[in-house]
């Protein structure tokens, strides 16, 4: 892929070196004609003139054939909902548990005994997977958006693995659409908590802020802010794209909250409310 790009760039340099100076100095944008190679053998002045006329016609009409990049975040009619991970890709995970008080007796070098009291987390519940929580929130979000009259497209409807490029292709195939990916977070510290929103900076900062504030308005939730990131699904989306982190499964307390249907219903409601308000 890289070699092909280099070869194409070299060919571009060779073709543009033969462009008449009047065209290059006109201040107007110029792009090489895709038929330039077939036009190159023409040796006469009339042949060259015909070739460049053909090139200019290509430049004038080809842009209309390319799917335009969509940046409007006000009049979208379709919401592409991407439930993160799926299939063999479980995303992050945790085992629910509870905190218990543990007393241990320690002996010093002098033989004295000392009782040390600590709190430790003991696994007592089932293992929860990010892919399952994300799909549940995505389904709830879809239902609420449909009820509001919006068209929705799910990148996955069940426990199926969809490659990242496949998710982007589904999104880019929709006209007047926005892309919303649902995820749950993981941190190095068990104390990390809160929600955060990533966006691809295509007319999306205000929209991302609206969704972030809506999610953070839940009782006890922490606003970790709006950020940009080079995630593949954001980078390759031609239109507005957001990736939402709905809570840390690495945080025992937050994981227990995320595991409840009540919380997932609330987070889906907040996201839906923000999306609906964005169109008003």
154 falls within a domain = yes
112 falls within a domain = yes
Same domain assignment for residues 23 and 137 = no
CB of 273 closer than 8 Å to CB of 214: yes
Give the global pTM. 0.70
Packing angle of the helix pair 130-147, 261-278 (nearest 10 deg): 50
70 falls within a domain = no
Average pLDDT over residues 56-66: 47
Cβ-based burial of 86 (10 A; exposed 0-12, middle 13-18, buried ≥19): buried
258 falls within a domain = yes
73 falls within a domain = no
Same domain assignment for residues 115 and 158 = no
Same domain assignment for residues 111 and 150 = no
72 falls within a domain = no
Closest C-alpha to 178, from 225, 243, 132: 243
pLDDT band at 264 (very low <50, low <70, confident <90, very high): very high
Same domain assignment for residues 147 and 267 = yes
Same domain assignment for residues 267 and 194 = yes
**Structural domain tally of the chain?**
3
Average pLDDT over residues 98-110: 74
Q: What percent of the chain has pLDDT over 70?
A: 71
Query: If phi over 0 gives left and psi between -120 and 50 gives alpha, with beta otherwise, what is residue 251?
Result: beta
Same domain assignment for residues 211 and 109 = no
Q: What percent of the chain has pLDDT over 90?
A: 60
Same domain assignment for residues 174 and 214 = yes
Which position has the higher pLDDT, 269 or 70?
A: 269
Strand partners, 154: 81
Strand partners, 86: 89
Same domain assignment for residues 171 and 236 = yes
Mean of pLDDT over the chain:
81
Which of 24-33, 69-78, 105-114, 220-229 is modeled with the greatest confidence? Answer: 220-229
pLDDT value for 48: 64
Question: In terms of residue numbers, what domain contains 110?
Answer: 95-124
Same domain assignment for residues 17 and 59 = yes
Same domain assignment for residues 49 and 179 = no
Average pLDDT over residues 33-62: 52
pLDDT band at 40 (very low <50, low <70, confident <90, very high): very low
Which position has the higher pLDDT, 38 or 184?
A: 184
Residue 185 has pLDDT above 60, yes or no: yes
Closest C-alpha to 195, from 211, 214, 215: 215
Residue 128 has pLDDT above 80, yes or no: yes
Same domain assignment for residues 46 and 109 = no
Same domain assignment for residues 37 and 102 = no
The CATH number covering residue 160 comes to 3.40.630.40
| Poorest-pLDDT segment among 109-113, 154-158, 209-213, 271-275 | 109-113
22 falls within a domain = yes
Average pLDDT over residues 170-192: 96
Residue 45 has pLDDT above 80, yes or no: no
71 falls within a domain = no
């Amino acid at each position: 892929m890289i070699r092909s790009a280099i070869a194409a760039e070299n060919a571009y340099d060779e073709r543009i070196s033969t462009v008449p100076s009047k065209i290059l100095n006109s201040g107007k944008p110029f792009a090489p004609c895709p038929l330039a190679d077939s036009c190159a053998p023409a040796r006469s002045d009339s042949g060259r003139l015909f070739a460049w006329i053909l090139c200019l016609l290509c430049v004038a009409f080809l842009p209309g054939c390319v799917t335009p990049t969509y940046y409007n975040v006000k009049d979208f009619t379709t919401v592409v909902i991407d439930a993160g991970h799926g299939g063999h890709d479980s995303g992050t995970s945790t085992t629910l548990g509870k905190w218990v008080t543990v007393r241990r007796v320690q002996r010093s070098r002098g033989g004295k005994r000392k009782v040390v009291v600590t709190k430790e987390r003991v696994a007592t519940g089932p293992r929860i997977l990010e892919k399952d929580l994300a799909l549940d929130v995505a389904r709830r979000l879809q239902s609420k958006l449909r009820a509001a009259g919006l068209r929705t497209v799910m990148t996955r409807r069940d426990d199926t693995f969809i490659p990242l490029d496949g998710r982007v292709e589904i999104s880019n195939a929709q006209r007047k659409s926005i892309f919303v990916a649902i995820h749950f977070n993981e941190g190095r510290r068990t104390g990390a908590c809160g929600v955060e929103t990533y966006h691809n900076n295509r007319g999306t900062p205000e929209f991302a802020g609206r969704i972030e504030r809506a999610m953070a308005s839940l009782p006890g939730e922490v606003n970790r802010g709006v950020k940009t990131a080079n995630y593949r699904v954001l980078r390759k989306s031609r239109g507005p794209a957001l990736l939402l982190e709905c809570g840390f499964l690495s945080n025992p307390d937050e994981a227990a909250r995320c595991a409840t249907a009540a919380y997932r219903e609330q987070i889906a409601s907040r996201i839906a409310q923000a999306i609906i308000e964005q169109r008003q």
